[in-house]
Chain A
Amino acid sequence: MLSARNTREKTIRGLFFLIAFMSIFTLVLIFLFLVKEGVPIFEEVSIRDFVLGRYWYPTSEPPDFGIFPLILASLGVTVLAAAIAIPLGVMTAIYLAEIASRRFREIAKPAVELLASLPSVVIGFFGMVVVAPFLQETFNLATGLNLFNAALMLAFMSVPTICSISEDAIYSVPKELKEASLALGATRLETILRVILPASLSGISTAVILGMSRAIGETMVVLMVAGGAAMVPTSIFDPVRPLPASIAAEMAEAPFRGDHYHALFATGMVLFLFTFCFNLVADQVAHRYKQTGAATL
C-alpha cells in the first residue's frame, strides 16, 4: 500500500513538473511560429536590407520592405516615454515608500495598480480625442497624432510598472541602514539619496528596464496615437509608425502568406527579440544584484 502511495505521489509530482514547463513551452512555440511565418521574407530581401532599409512601402510595386524607420520610431517613442516615466515613476515610488504616511500609502498603492490596469485601447482613445486636438492647437501642428503624443501616453502606461517594482525594492532596504544614516546626522533627503537609493539600485534598474520593455511592445497606443507615417522622424512632433503599430494596422490587409504577410511576422520577430533582450537583462540585474540583507552591501 505504501508503494502504491509512493507511485501516485511521484506521478503527481511529475505531472506538476510538466505543467510548470508550459510557460517555457509557450514561449518556444511563439518564437518557432514567428520564425516559421517570418523567415520566408528573407528569400526576397536580405536580413540587412530588411533591418536597415530606409523605405517601408509593402504594397507598392515593387514593394519595399525596410523596417529601419519603424525601428527608429519604436526607439524614439520608447526613449521619450522613458524620459518622462522614469523620473515620475521613481519619484512616486520614493514618496510612497519613504515619505508618505501609512494611510496615504494604503490609498495610493491601489490607485497606481488601477492606473496599470486601464485598458491600452482606452488610453489610446484618450490620446486621440483629448490630447491630440490639444497638442495640435497649442503647438500649432499639422496633426496632434505624433511621436510626442504617443510617448506621453506610453509614459503613463509605464509609470505604474516602474513605480510599483521600484517601490518594492526601496521598501525592502533593511531598516538598519536607514537608521544608521539618520543617527549620523544625515537629513531624510540625504539618507534617501546616499543610502536608500544606492541600496535599491538594482531593483530600480529592473523596474526601469521592464517599464521600457512594456513601452516598446505596447500596441494599441502607438497604433491609435503615433500618426502612422513610416518615415524617419526629424522632430518629436512628426507622425511615426512604430513596429507594433505597423503589424497591427497592416495584418488584416496583407494577403495570406504573401510577402507582406511574411514581412509582418519578421517585424514581429524583431519586436520579440527586443523585448526578450530587455527582459533577460532585467532578470540578470534582479538576480545578480539581489539585495538579501544588510550584510551584502
Chain B
Amino acid sequence: MSPPGKPTAAAALEQSPAMDILLQTHEARLRRRKRMEWLVFFMFRSAVAVTALALLIILFFMAANGWRAVTWTFLTQAPRNAMTEGGILPCIVGTASLALGAMAVAFPIGIASAVYLNEYARPGKILRVIRIGINNLAGVPSVVFGLFGLAFFVIYCQFGVSILSGALTLGAMSLPVIIGTTEEALKAVPSTYREASLALGATKWQTIYRVVLPAALPGILTGGILGIGRAAGETAPIMFTAAVFFTPALPSSLFDKVMALPYHIYVLATAGTEIEATRPLQYGTALVLITLVLGLNLTAILYRSRLRNKAK
C-alpha cells in the first residue's frame, strides 16, 4: 500500500495518454483476433458442408436416376436378352449368400478373439503383437484379399470359384470389423457385473458365458450388421473368388459360382458393347446396393445410439 495523497505509478499510468493508446491497440488486436477466429471457423464450417454435400449429391444422383428402374420385376427376375433387360434377382441372392456366409465365418472367430483380448489377455508383448496383426489385417487392400482368396481358397484348397471361396475371403476381410465392435461392446459391460459373478463362485468362463456375453449381445449384434453391410458392398475380394458375369440359374450349393450386386454394376458399367443401353439397369442396381448397405448401416447406427443412451 502506498501512502494516501502521493500519486502512485499505476495511477499515473492510468491517467496518461499512453494508456489510452495502449488500450485502443489492445482492443483493436482483440477485434482482429475475433475476426480471424470467425474467418477460420467459417472455413471449418465450409469443410463440413463440402463433406455433407458430397454425400447428398451422390445419394441424390443415384436415387434420381435409379428409382424408375427399380420395379418389382427388376427385383424378382433374372436378366434377359444378354443382360440388357430383366432384373437382378440372381445378384441379390448371390450377394446375400456371400455376405451371410462371410458372417458365418467371421462372427464366431471375431467374437472369440475379442473375448480373449478383452477378458483374458493381460497387457504385454503378446497382446501388442495380436493388436498389430489385427490393425494390419484391417489395412490389407481389398484386391490383395482377392489375390489371397484366389491363391489359397480357389486353387490351394480346391474350392474353385464358388460361394464358399468368396465367403471365406470376405470373412477374413470382415474379421477386424467384428473384433473391433465386439471389443467395444465388451468394454461397455460394467466390471461390477464380472465381480459380482466371480464373488458368487462362478468361474471365469461361466462369468463370460452367462453374464458378460448376454450383457454385450446387442452391441455384438450391431457389429454383425455392420459386417454384413461391409461384406455386401465389396467387389475386389469376390472378383477372382466367387463372382461371375452371368449364371443361368440361381445358386444351389456352396460350390456354385454366383452373380453379385457390386460386380454386376462394375461389369455392366465397364465391359460389353451395351454400356449406354444398360445405363438404367446400372443405376437401378447401384440404387439397390446403396439402399441395402446404407439401410444396414443406418439400422446399426440407430440401434447403437439407442443402446448408448440407455447405458447413460
Contacts and interface: CB of A to CB of B under 8 A. Distances in A.
Interface stretch (B11-19, B34-42, B68-76, B84-92): B34-42
B205 A8 contact: yes
Contacts of A216: 141
Contacts of B47: 87-88, 91-92, 95
A188 interface: yes
Contact of A276 (B136, B147, B205, B266): B136
Given A91-B47, A120-B235, A128-B269, A217 B139 contact: yes
Nearest to B41: A99
Contacts of A163: 51
Nearest to B131: A283
A33 B235 contact: no
Contact of B141 (A27, A115, A244): A244
Given A17-B120, A159-B51, A122 B109 contact: no
B14 to A, nearest CB: 20
Interface stretch (B54-62, B190-198, B211-219, B251-259): B54-62
Given A112-B51, A122-B62, A129 B150 contact: no
A80 interface: no
Contacts of A92: 44, 47-48, 51
A99 B112 CA distance: 40
A119 B116 contact: no
Interface in B19-49: 33-34, 36-37, 40-41, 43-45, 47-48
B220 interface: no
A125 interface: yes
Interface in A129-160: 129-130, 156, 159
Main secondary structure of the interface of B (DSSP, over half): helix
B59 to A, nearest CB: 9
A219 B143 contact: yes
Contact of B61 (A89, A113, A130): A130
Nearest to B106: A22
Given A23-B130, A187-B34, A251-B240, A217 B41 contact: no
A214 B141 CA distance: 7
Contacts of A12: 205
Interface string A205-236: 00000100110111110011000000000000
Contact of A119 (B117, B282, B289): B289
Most chain B CB within 10 A, of A94, A108, A129, is at A129
A125 B286 contact: yes
Contacts, number: 269
A217 B61 contact: no
A268 interface: yes
A104 B239 CA distance: 40
A258 interface: no
Given A275-B139, A279-B136, A122 B289 contact: yes
Contact of B143 (A96, A125, A271): A271
Interface in B278-296: 279, 282, 286, 289-290, 293-294
Contact of A23 (B34, B61, B176): B176
B100 interface: no
A264 B143 CA distance: 11
Contact of A30 (B54, B144, B298): B144
B229 interface: yes
A170 B141 CA distance: 27
Contacts of B50: 88
A36 to B, nearest CB: 7
A22 B48 contact: no
A295 interface: no
B129 interface: yes
A150 B34 CA distance: 39
A169 to B, nearest CB: 16
A4 B230 CA distance: 42
Contacts of B140: 27, 30, 217, 272, 275-276
Contacts of B232: 119
Given A27-B137, A113-B301, A119-B233, A19 B294 contact: no
Question: Which 10 pairs from chain A and chain B are nearest by CB?
Answer: A217-B141, A119-B233, A24-B133, A91-B47, A189-B37, A20-B116, A16-B116, A279-B139, A219-B236, A33-B151
17 contacts: A5-B203, A15-B112, A19-B112, A19-B113, A23-B179, A29-B152, A30-B140, A30-B145, A95-B47, A114-B298, A117-B294, A119-B232, A187-B36, A217-B141, A218-B142, A220-B266, A224-B269
Given A21-B130, A276-B140, 7 more contacts: A13-B204, A15-B112, A29-B152, A125-B266, A224-B269, A244-B141, A279-B138
